[in-house]
Structure 1
Amino acid sequence: MTPPQPYLTTMKFNSLSLLSALLLLPACQTETLAETIRDQDQQLEYAQMTLRQLDAQRETLDAQIAELREQYAFEQERRMEIENRFEAMSASYQATQQEVDELTSRLEGTGVGVSKRGDILVLDLPSAITFNSGSANLNSKGRKSLKTVADILKTNYEGKTFWVEGHTDNDKIKKSKDKWGSNLELSVTRAMTVINYMTQDLKVPANQFRIAGHGEWSPKTENSSTKSKATNRRVEILIF
């Protein structure tokens, strides 16, 4: 509660003094003093009203300050959370990029591409280095490239799961249609060939492998040219 103000106390004292003196004065002076008392009473009432208003304003300002402090603390906490999340994402990206760069270096000269799909590491073996047209038999270059891949999988990714997924372009099978009823069948067979070679010849544990065939239905790019079709003919190894 706000303590009595000296000014207001003084005004009240003056009013009481004037009231006492009023009884000892003639009528004309009495009226003058009465007017003075009324003026001072009005001033006192106005001052008290002003004080109440100032008290109310102070309480409002105190509440606003408390709210702003709370909001500031919340924003500071939120900013720290965003900064921490950004730092974690940056560190994760750097670690991912370092992993991709290291694998790219180790696979240099094999024709195997390395990329990241979300949290999944993807090794891309284009058909140019693995299979001849219409064939599901690994060529010599493909076997050599897969030997390097197998060494990496056994050394760096023990216990991981490897999805081997075959892909083709959208050209209809012509020369070997007596072997493959569709591009989907060819893509699955090529993926199985890769798994068999890596598990039987290169001794990568078979329980780490899963298989999928996509045929022409998951292209990397539109099948609009000879070059783009070659890009779509591939076997991918996804490391989980």
Structure 2
Amino acid sequence: MIKKISLGLLVLALSSSCVSKKIYNDLENKFADLKKENRKLADDNEGLNKTKNQLELDGAKLKADYDKLKAEHDKLVADYAAKDKSFKTLQASYNALEKDSNDALTSNINKNRELLAQLEAKEKSLAAEQDRLNKLKADLDASSKRLSELESYIAAKDASMKKLKETLMKSLKAFDGKGLTVHEKDGKVYVSMENKLLFQTGSWAVGAEGKTAVVEVGKVLAQNPDLSVLIEGHTDDDKIMGNLGGGIESNWDLSTKRATAIVNILSENKGVNKQNLTAAGRGEFAPLMSNDTPEGKAKNRRIEIILTPKLDEISKMLNDL
């Protein structure tokens, strides 16, 4: 470009014959300056080209790095999107599981509470049953103890009645074969005396031998003040006729008067507790044998002294069981 300008000026100067030397020199100087400037510009242009080339290289490298980074970025974005999707899926699954777990946990907690309540109720019921069982056991032990005491008491009473029977048999031995018998039945001792030992026909007055037997019974009763004594009068079924016996109206009347006569003899013994004595007339209504024979009638005409141990203590023990 500078060269073209210089040539143009030179041509212009040559073509103008009238150009002065001074102008020429000025042009020469300007040309030299321009030439120098041209070289400088060429040098600058070359430096710029080198810079441009380096910049293009750097730009290409930067673009390659950019492309690489962009590709990596795009990959990261895609990976992030995939991971985010997976995360959201997992989060949804977790939330569902957490909800199910919470529901299940709540349900289990409620069930556990119900079971605990049932268990507490069972424990209370068991404790109540145990208390009831303990009370029943204590009551059973107490009852067993009282039953044992009752059995011992009854055994003692039985032994006492056996001893009483033996004592009476010994005391009344002189009357063996004379219509007097002693026997034990159902925990009671029976002293049975036939009328032939005690009374005349139709009479309630006790004969001497019979009174002796009754007195012996009274002696034994005086030694056993805790006995209940029932004196029963019995007859056969022969009817009372007319004024037999001084106005006796019936066998009931006769049996009662005979029982009362025995009570009076027993009462003569001061050791006999009169509160324990009871007189009863049974008439012909409790026979031992048939009244169809003389022997049967004789057996039915009798006095029975029934000795019974007082059962107040036994009744109390039974009530306590």
Give the TM-score normalised by structure 1: 0.67
* Cross-structure match for 2:235: 168
* Cross-structure match for 2:274: 208
- Partners of 1:185 and 1:213 within 8 A in 2: no
Count residues in correspondence: 213
* Cross-structure match for 1:77: 138
- Partners of 2:251 and 2:283 within 8 A in 1: yes
Answering whether residue 127 of structure 2 is matched by residue 66 of structure 1, we say yes
Q: Aligned partner of 1:44: which letter?
A: L
| Structure possessing the higher radius of gyration over alpha carbons | 2
Answering whether residue 175 of structure 2 is matched by residue 113 of structure 1, we say no
Higher helix share: 2
* Cross-structure match for 1:149: 217
Greater relative contact order (Cα < 8 A, sep 6+): 1
Runs of 4+ in 1 over 6 A off after TM superposition: none
Q: Aligned partner of 1:172: which letter?
A: K
Task: Give the unaligned 5+ runs of structure 2.
Answer: 1-83, 311-321
Q: Aligned partner of 1:94: which letter?
A: A
* Cross-structure match for 1:33: 94
Distance in 2, Cα, partners of 1:161 & 1:35:
94
Identity %: 22
SS at the partner of 2:106? helix
- Partners of 2:254 and 2:283 within 8 A in 1: no
Q: Aligned partner of 1:193: which letter?
A: A
The Cα of 1:193 is off from its aligned counterpart by: 3.4
Q: Aligned partner of 2:269: which letter?
A: V
Q: Aligned partner of 2:281: which letter?
A: H
Summarize deviations over 1:34-91 as a string: whole Å, max 9, x none: 2232232233223312321221221121122112112202321331243133223312
Distance in 2, Cα, partners of 1:197 & 1:40:
103
Give the TM-score normalised by structure 2: 0.53
Q: RMSD across aligned C-alpha pairs, in angstroms?
A: 3.8
Distance in 2, Cα, partners of 1:92 & 1:176:
51
Distance in 1, Cα, partners of 2:191 & 2:242:
29
